[in-house]
Amino acid sequence: MKLETIAPLSNDYRDSGSISNLIENNPTPKPLTSQEDLLKQQENSNETTPEAKNLSPLTQMQA
């Protein structure tokens, strides 16, 4: 059985210009949340729900 080789994406798809265009035309009105703020929110939520740490993986999946 012969495997087909898939050609890598052309440079057109990896062009940094297309990425910057997405950023410039970003319609999101609210400012982006920094990683530091997200980390603080995660830490706060962990403090408010300590009982969740003791759940088994199966119980967490069903939650």
What pLDDT, on a 0 to 100 scale, did the predictor assign at position 12?
57
Q: How far apart are CA 56 and CA 34, in angstroms?
A: 31
- Say which residue the tokens 């052309």 belong to: 10
Domain ranges of the chain: 19-62
Residues 55, 63 contacting (CB under 8 angstroms): yes
Distance (Å, whole) CA 12 – CA 8: 11
- Quick: pLDDT tens for 3-62: 777 766 655 555 555 555 555 665 666 666 677 887 887 777 666 555 556 777 777 777
Angle among Cα 58, 59, 61 to the nearest 5 degrees reads 65
pTM above 0.85, yes or no: no
pLDDT(63) > 60 = yes
Closest among 30, 35, 10, 13 to 22, alpha carbons compared: 13
Helix (H, G, I), strand (E, B) or coil at 2: coil
